[in-house]
Homo-oligomer: A and B are copies of this chain.
Amino acid sequence: MTNIRDIAQLSGYSISTVSRVLNHQNYVSDKTRAAIQQVIDQLDYVPNAVARDLSRGKTFNVGVVLPHADHPYFTQLLHGIMQAAFSTNYRVVLLPSKYNATLELQYLEDLRQKAYDALIFTSHGLPLTALNRYRRYGPIVVCENPHDCPIPAAYAERLATYQDAFELLKQRGYRHIGILASRPAPVSATCQAMVTAHHTVFGTDPAPELMRTDVTTPSDAQRAGDYYITQHLKLDAILTNGDDNAVGLRRAYHQHHQTPPFLIGQEHQLSGEVLGLPTIDHHFVEVGIKAFDLAVSGQTGNIAIASQLLLPDPQPQIKRV
């Protein structure tokens, strides 16, 4: 392992001069630079990145905490974060959490230990106040509306769009509305927003038996559908948490030889397009970009991005040839 000292010795110059050459700084004469560069080339030397980071006190690593890797919310968010990181020479480190408090705490401790320059929580199990406490060790950004907790955040403003969705259902005369959510309202801002919007539009909370939580995959959604069917809960419509999950629901109804209720998707996935579902695009890529910007700038403040209800394109007529 050849190091900067070796280069200094063999070239006959000092470590600092070698360092200047390495970092393309000024105040090095052309012939000195050339002489040193020659030794560098000769020994096939490259500086050690970790030593550099230590000396500079900065890693250019941003940790991104992800409960799951296979959910569109997270992949889209990650996509945005990567995009933003890419143009700034920061590196993205993936931190799987499964909403596990011990793991999340570990990542916060890693930040404290300077393993990352900043941390982005795409979602979290720990209370916001717990995260907030670690901000003294470095920038921490969350991807939800933090309400009264003064923590930097970039998030999709969903409430108005959920209201749009329920208004659509109301206009169509639907009253018995199923709701699919990944986590229950007490811990999930998203779920809370759906409940609030339902209340605003219909004047009542959603019936508890029509709300299914812990639905993340299409298979989960299929099970939720099985539940609705076997419990003989006659639904007019279901607000699903993802177009793909709507597919799972549909599967359940089809297997029971029933026509599914009117479905609204989320995430603007391809499966929704195929099925001609209305969907909600939360613009998570953009949210990711903003989250990253907040993280590296160290700025405080919240950035809300408006969601959007998208109605399906009319299905084209197919001419049989």
Q: Given the interface contacts A49-B115, A274-B271, does A82 sit within 8 Å of B94 by beta carbon?
A: yes
- Chain A interface residue count, CB cutoff 8 Å, equals 50
Check A205 for interface membership: any CB of B closer than 8 A: no
Contact partner of A110 (CB less than 8 A), chosen from B49, B114, B259, is B49
What chain B residues lie within 8 Å of A321 (beta carbons)?
258-259
Stretch at the interface among A51-59, A124-132, A173-181, A192-200: A51-59
Check A113 for interface membership: any CB of B closer than 8 A: yes
Top 5 A-B pairs, shortest CB-CB distance: A49-B115, A49-B113, A257-B319, A254-B316, A92-B94
Q: 1/0 contact trace for A52-95 toward B, CB 8 Å?
A: 01100001010000000110000100110010001000011111
Apart from A247-B273, A257-B318, A274-B275, list 4 A-B contacts with CB within 8 A: A48-B54, A49-B113, A50-B53, A255-B316
Complex Cα spacing A238 to B255, Å: 29
Complex Cα spacing A51 to B59, Å: 11
What chain B residues lie within 8 Å of A110 (beta carbons)?
49
Check A96 for interface membership: any CB of B closer than 8 A: yes
* Contact across chains for A115 and B271 when beta carbons are under 8 A apart: no
Q: Given the interface contacts A94-B91, A316-B257, does A48 sit within 8 Å of B82 by beta carbon?
A: no
* Contact across chains for B94 and A317 when beta carbons are under 8 A apart: no
Check A47 for interface membership: any CB of B closer than 8 A: yes
Complex Cα spacing A92 to B86, Å: 16
Check A24 for interface membership: any CB of B closer than 8 A: no
Contact partner of A93 (CB less than 8 A), chosen from B61, B70, B79, is B61
What chain B residues lie within 8 Å of A48 (beta carbons)?
54, 113-114
Distance in angstroms from A265 CB to nearest chain B CB is 12
Check A320 for interface membership: any CB of B closer than 8 A: yes
* Contact across chains for A59 and B50 when beta carbons are under 8 A apart: yes
* Contact across chains for A51 and B49 when beta carbons are under 8 A apart: no
Chain A, 145-187, CB within 8 A of any chain B CB: none
Check A35 for interface membership: any CB of B closer than 8 A: no
Q: 1/0 contact trace for A96-111 toward B, CB 8 Å?
A: 1000000000000110
Check A33 for interface membership: any CB of B closer than 8 A: no
Complex Cα spacing A115 to B89, Å: 14
Give A47's nearest chain B residue, CB to CB: B113
